[in-house]
């Protein structure tokens, strides 16, 4: 037992509603780990075009998605290219239209508004139509509710929802969260994961620690 091939574009044979994200993205500033998927009944393979917005190479901001993440239809990552300079009278981006409007524009003004890279940890579930704003770090094991707008960092194993997204509750107590992050089951060999699914899905950290100790 080994599960689907991580190199598969469509992990469900004959169905194109779900893609393994790492196999449908390109470029130096976006990456995804094994088995992280995006589900969409319409053109799921266009994940990068549909879901990663205002991501311009010249800005250099990165989107990183970990392993075993589940992304529902309509998830959007708004990258730093969406920002407008706010230090002057107008926020209108005259410079992008050329025709002379680009002259004397100081690009450093724009870069000052960058919030940095966007990072999604491992084993993260992001619900339908959720929006992740620039520079957000979503910790491993977190859950983002449907239609949430996430503008600040999400701790590991927290459940957040709303606009703006707020912590609803932690999934586990702080000590257990630290134990789970230390165990990091998503880094195990896939054969070990496959033969211990019951412990990963329903077990206690004690069970996972015993398995990890044998590595």
Which residues have a catalytic role annotated? Answer: 84
Q: Which long-range contacts (CB under 8 A, 24 or more apart) does 169-172 make?
A: 171/141, 171/143
The sign of the dihedral angle between the CA atoms of 41, 46, 50, 52 is: positive
Residues 204 and 136: their CA atoms lie apart, in Å, by: 29
DSSP string, 127-172: -TT-EE-TT-EEPTT-EE-TT-EE-S-B-TTEEEETTTTEEEEESS
Calculate Rg over the CA atoms of the chain. Answer: 19
Note whether 34 and 6 are within 8 A (CB): yes
Q: How big is the CA angle at 40 (ends 39 and 46), to the nearest 5 degrees?
A: 100
Tell me the two tokens of residue 200.
């990963």
């Amino acid at each position: 037992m080994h599960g689907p091939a991580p190199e598969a574009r469509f992990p469900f044979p004959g169905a194109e509603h779900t893609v393994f994200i790492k196999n449908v993205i390109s470029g130096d500033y976006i990456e995804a780990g094994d088995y992280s998927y995006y589900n969409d009944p319409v053109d799921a393979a266009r994940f990068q075009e549909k879901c990663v917005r205002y991501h311009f190479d010249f800005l250099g901001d990165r989107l990183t998605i970990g392993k075993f993440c589940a992304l529902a239809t309509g998830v959007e990552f708004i990258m730093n290219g969406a920002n407008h300079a706010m230090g002057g009278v107008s926020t209108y981006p005259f410079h992008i239209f050329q025709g002379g409007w680009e002259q004397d524009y100081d690009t450093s003004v724009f870069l000052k508004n960058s919030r940095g890279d966007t990072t999604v940890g491992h084993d993260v579930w992001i619900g339908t139509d959720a929006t992740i704003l620039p520079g957000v770090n979503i910790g491993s094991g977190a859950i983002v509710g449907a239609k949430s707008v996430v503008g600040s960092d999400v701790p590991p194993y927290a459940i957040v929802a709303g606009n703006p997204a707020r912590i609803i509750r932690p999934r586990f107590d702080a000590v257990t969260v630290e134990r789970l992050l230390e165990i990091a089951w998503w880094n195990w060999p896939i054969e070990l994961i496959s033969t211990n699914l019951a412990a990963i899905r329903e077990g206690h950290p004690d069970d996972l620690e015993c398995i990890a100790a044998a590595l």
